Homo-oligomer: A and B are copies of this chain.
Amino acid sequence: MDKLLKIGEVAKQANITVETLRFYQSEQLLIPKMSNQSGYRLYSVQDQQKLNFILHSKKVGFSLSEIKQLLSLRTDKDQHTCEEVKNYTGDKIDEIESKIHDLQKMSLALSNLHNACCGGSESAKQCTILNSLDDPELFANSNNKTLGKNHD
């Protein structure tokens, strides 16, 4: 019933290498059970969910040691007080909200560039609308200026 996958199958599904999975084990991030007749690693569905969390967290800029702490909130509850859990999660939530905010600004700035550009095969140097936003949009603290379309 509890489907266990071997390292190669997990790696393939997650689009990472088996070496990365062994590395995560050596770092105590994701510890599968080991088959005691073959010595092979066997990953449960929960292990695969955990791996998903690791990969998504990495993508948005968390380090492996931060991810380890996040995972330990669930796994090592008895090592923390409720106060610690509450403070830590509160701080992380703030951090995440700030990342979301930064990403929304970047998305807006790039959308302005994207919408302004005609997408044709000529040099973007000629793209006057692209030229017209020559100071701010891509940078932080940008304002929400909307632009028209097309060249010249």
Q: Which residues on A are within 8 Å of B, measured CB to CB?
A: 46, 49-50, 52-53, 55-61, 70-71, 73-74, 77-78, 80-87, 89-90, 92-93, 96-100, 102-107, 110-111, 113-114, 117-127, 130-131, 133-136, 138-141, 151
A84 partner residues in chain B, CB cutoff 8 A: 124
Q: A52-B139, A77-B127 are in contact. List 15 more A-B contacts (CB 8 A).
A: A46-B135, A49-B139, A56-B105, A73-B113, A74-B133, A74-B138, A81-B122, A82-B119, A82-B122, A85-B127, A89-B110, A92-B110, A100-B100, A100-B103, A100-B107
Minimum-distance CB pairs A-B, first 9: A61-B61, A78-B125, A86-B119, A52-B140, A89-B114, A49-B139, A53-B139, A77-B124, A56-B102
Inter-chain CA distance A138–B85, complex, in Å, is 14
Give bound CA distance, A87 to B99, whole Å. 24
- 13 inter-chain pairs at a CB distance below 8 angstroms, sorted by A residue, are A56-B140, A61-B61, A73-B113, A74-B134, A81-B122, A81-B123, A81-B124, A82-B127, A93-B107, A96-B103, A96-B110, A99-B103, A100-B104
Task: Tell me how far the C-beta of A81 lies from the nearest C-beta in chain B, rounded to whole angstroms.
Answer: 5
Q: A107–B89 Cα gap in the complex (Å)?
A: 9
Contact pick for A117, options B89, B107, B121, CB 8 Å: B89
Whole-angstrom distance between the alpha carbons of A141 and B120 in the complex?
39
Residues of B within 8 A of A100 (CB): 100, 103-104, 107
